[in-house]
Structure 1
Amino acid sequence: MAALEEDFTLGGLVPGAGLDGLLGVERGHKADLFLVTDHGRTVVLYKVSDQKPLGCWSVKQGQTITCPAVCNFQTGEYVVVHDDKVLRIWKNEDVNLDKVFKATLSADVYRIHSLQNTEPLVLFREGAVRSLDVLLAEPQQKIEAVISDEEVIKWTKLFLDSNQPVLIFVTEKHGNYFVYMQVFNPHNLYKYTLLPGEENVSLSFAASVNGRLITLLCLSCNGCIYETMIPLNQDKPEEKKELVTSLLLKTYISCNVLKGVSFAILDKDHVAIMGTSLKTPKESISIWNIKFQTLQTSKELPQGTSGQLWCYGGKLFMLHGKFLTVIPFKCEISSLAASLGKLKHVQAPGTQTVSHFVNWGTFQGDGLESQDSNNLAPLKGQSRRSLRTRRNETRSQLQDSTDKEFLSCIKDASEKQLEQQLTKFLADKRTPDFQITVGHIVTELVGRCKTEPEFYPHSSLVQLIQTQVLSYSLCPDLMAVALEKRDVYLLQLCLQQFPDIPESITCACLKVFLSIGDDFLKGTDVNMESVVGYIDFLQDEKMGKSEIVQNGFSPVPLEDDNFEDKLNKSDDIMNTTLTCPVTPHKAALLNAILHSAYSETFLLPNLKDLTVQHVILFLQYLHFLYEKCSESASMTLPGPCPPTLNQIMDWICLLLDAHFTVIVMIPEAKGILASLYKFVKAQVWVYSELNKIEGSLQQLQKMHQQRNTGLYSIEVLELI
């Protein structure tokens, strides 16, 4: 299956991005850096993880960038072309592009391509290709015409085949499409005629290379994707070669002409398609499985797009409105089992990825070890069906004996012996019945924990959970035993990996996390990944020196009866440096609660069992997270897997709904309620003013359309 994760804005409003969108998004000299070039005069270098620009360069007024800027990975410099022929090269420390290296070429440039481990290549509008070093040695050299008159380049891409560059580009002339492939060792140019599919209007192209074969995909105006194979191992270029296209995928749009569409190849089984149709004006982006011809996920883009899409390293880049938006995505290995449903998959750091889906081929005997195959060699005369049956029976007998031997040692082995045996068991090759076997082992261990109170194999249970094949329904008593033992690390792992935990168990974990002492947590293993980046790990000492009532709970009393005066008096409090009301260990445990799945209908009754002190403490922590989110323009917390703003707000609403009367009455909650009220009031005012500005701008636009001014005029506009 595939999924689109929560999107975020990269760098805010894109300068110079109009109806034509952007010229391009290209990789920088590091994996997290990207160069964004608009259709005007600006190139911006963004760092995606920080969601901020690191540098911005512009050409002079009157000049226009005509080619996306790229990074020369061999030198760490940036290269761009403006006014079709003027080449500029600069470094990070350069500020003014007018003072950097300049070279005027003899022909118009279409695109510059740059990849790791190869020098940049320059593709001219007439189809000729030169390396950047060759051009810099002689900028005014004669550039030959490769394509014919009135033939226009529509799309181009650079590949590496055995560390040798291969450039492919598609041209169009009078409705006919041609494919050119330029190889450099030896230097040969191949030309093909692209035979049309059912529709001869192609809107977007994408390609991938696998071995010695290039797969060219074409999105046509009927919403279908056609596939063409181009071999790389050709001897000599031949004239008038034809490429036959075959239908690969038919999307949900079948009869309408698409506007502003594009698509990208995500992996060998998935493509992302962005666009709209005349019948459904809402633009969206969707992921399709080309192997099973199914729509995996879709996301509406209400602010519209420019019809451009870029894909780099698990992230999609696009213009949403006039904002450069990044949407991370995940694509799992496509299989028949995966197409039947989607399971929650959370990989703990340092653990081996284990598929949640069954390998159907192993049930046909394809995964049998060579030793078993040799033992079955005399059975060649039997039918294929009986041979498969014998293989399955042999494997089942071997596995059953191993499982029974291991399960028998659980009944009387010590915790140390059990841990050693379990390590050996998990190191062996995993079989199709591995998930069921692990479930049996956990059930036996939990059963022994119930009968022997002194027996609790914490390390073994952690190992079994980290196999990532368990669920709550497979071992329902595991979390109950962990709650009884107050094993917070085990509970945290379960909350992170089990997709089917009942709401009552989630609330029971919340009670344990809120009530457990901070001294106990200091010596406990807790996964701190979710709090890295926004909580000070030295604040334990700071909190020890401050006045704490219980578990970091230190209410700020507001005694004034007038609520508005109370808000004004709390300004100094709200402007002070934020301090987390709980320790980092407890914050990491509470984040596991925020990430867990729940149904509001079943969760609310269980939340009512929380004590007042626990409600206030949890509400204070949620308020702290919310204030931290507000500090960032993207309204997100830093770190690898922090709580999202939606999760924070949902839990605030849940707590207020479950304990509304109590929270309104107790003095300890008035400070938090006052802060939330102040924020909501400020947001209402901001949106109200924005609506006024929007109305004024609409009126000005109408006035501008109605009035016909001369060639030169000065107008003074006053907004009241």
Structure 2
Amino acid sequence: MAALYEGYTLCGLVPAQNLTSSGVHGIKSERDDDHVLITDSARSVTLYKVSDQKPLCSWTVKQGRSLTCPVVYNSITKEYVAVSDNKVIQIWKEDDISLDKAFKATLSSDVWQVHSTQGAEPVVLFQRGAVRFLDSILAAPQQTVEDVLAHEEDLRWSTHLVADSQHCVIFTTEQKGDHFLYLQRLNPNSLQKYRLEREELGLCPLSFSVALREKHICLLYLYPNGRVYQSVVPLRAVGSDDGSQTLTLPRTLLLSLSVGEGHLEAASALILDEAHVAVVGVPHPSAGAGKDFLCIWNIHFQTLQAGKEMAGKIYGQLWRFSNKLFIPHGKSLSVIRYECPKSCLAIAVGKMRQARIEECKGPSSVPSWSNVLHGEKVEPPRTADARKTRMSRRTQSAPSLSIEQILELIKTEPVEKVQQEVGAFISSSNTTDLQLVAGRLASALVSRSLADLTFYTGGLLSQLVQSRNLCYSICPDLLLLALEKRDYFLCQLCLQFFPDIPEAITCACLKAFISMTDSDANILNLDPASVSFMDMLITKDNAQDGSQNGCSYTSVKNDSLEIMDGAVPKENTQTPLEETCPVSLNKAVLLNEILQASYSENCLLPHLKDLSSQHALVFLQYLQFLYLKYSQDAFPQRKELRSPTLNQVMDWVCMVLDTHFTVLVMTPEAKGLLFKLHTFVKSQVKLFSELGKIGSSLQEINKMKAKKEIGQYSIEIIELY
């Protein structure tokens, strides 16, 4: 999952007196991503080395002048380029102390911005839409430039990129409520004009961001209503290439963010990679009003993956260089390092190694978020159950209460009334509608339960979790509430269906499950498939002889004699197959959910250290029990039963030993357990060593070329050594 790490302040800010502007005119990279140029809205530009958090140089234009666009760095000539008073271009080197003696050239038209990309010649974008290379402008500063934009059409945003040695300047404009996108290609020159689709109520985009993907330009833009759209623009010219033909630019809705009451005023969305978008100035789904956050959303899976509250006012500005985000807030400019792993389902939901987990859950009729956002209708599978469901829904009346009325009812009505009305609302809502409101319902129920100790609706929360329309980030207090109320069935459901549970919460569940008494565990009503698996595992009369998968009793006994030189402790003389489960059945079922939970090892280990030595010992004993059962050839692996895999068991054994080895070595009760685990590991090493030899032999056989003279039938002898 994506992550935001601890940030630091790069420099202080001097915001405008009305607090509408941060005072930062722009941030541009210099020789590399560790050096940035920060242009303030007054008269100065400063070069910072980000990793050292200190300024290296600073330059200021003389009194009476002002910098009208961000200063850029020309990586070819190692010079800085600035525009003052809209028409004066100034160029200087790092060694120059004063700008009074720097090169100056006064142009014939106002400049909107100078753009520069590493290793490419800078380009100049004029306020009326003309684009020129910097060198051609400096050769004749007073040359006349054409007006590309129509009357009353003004520039709003621009950027520059280089694809396959071709420069592309992209800028947006506004004319009487209509918004346009221009794509100016240089060498050879061509201009393409697109019209953006109008948003409801005539809203104007708050921010734009672009990325180059497979010879297409992806444009991302955020509206004040919280909707984030994406448009794809081909690099190759389409139709007329002189800008006379205006094409309609199709768009795709990527995110529909909740903005609360009213509209956003200062917000920004920035592309991080193909799957992740950074958003600032949009309320966090689980935070109260008045709190400003920087968030990372996964647009493929529609999940909030990371969030960090920013102190002070947010100005809607956000820049990215390498793996660092630059964000002005309050009176400081912060640098926050982020990480976005490659976007695939396995990584988006964490370390999910069990390949058959979806088979255990059964088919799902929930449509994808993309279909919900795009308004496409998805028909559920045409099964008998589906037909029965549709027929039963026809007989039900439409819900008598709206979602807003339901939310108000949850705040004040008693438990019985809430259970009746909310339960009816959930039952009568179709899949798409419930998908959109499940988070709001869960948050309202959890908030009421936390505020009122006498109020708790575990059944409704379980129903919402089982609908698979929730994740941890949508309602982070839900699982904590279940632990507080000791609703372990709800905890089990959350562990099964939430793909984004933090490692700290996973460890909190582990401690709660191990600490639970057997008497409390025996009265729990848990998932039948999980209970069936453990019941089969504990009560099945497995064969007592024969070999196991890499762990036969004979090999274990011989390994034990080798290690202990014949001095085997009494507690280790029993056959491993005679091991009994060290915990009760229901407690084992809950521990199995922990083993199958998503996690990142680096994040999990620090929290795993909080387990007491006694709890770690019990957990290891249970893991040893699972390992022995899984090692038996007679043990049936049934896909329809929800169960951890052998790899998951071994991973947790390694992590628990890594975090508690010193304490366990000094604990007398753990001596026999550690001895057995050592023999199991040794037998596994032997098994994989032999498998490696076989694999190498098979590879060599595969490389051997077949003889052409071999007929339809032949016998060959291949010696393996």
- TM-score under structure 2 length normalisation: 0.49
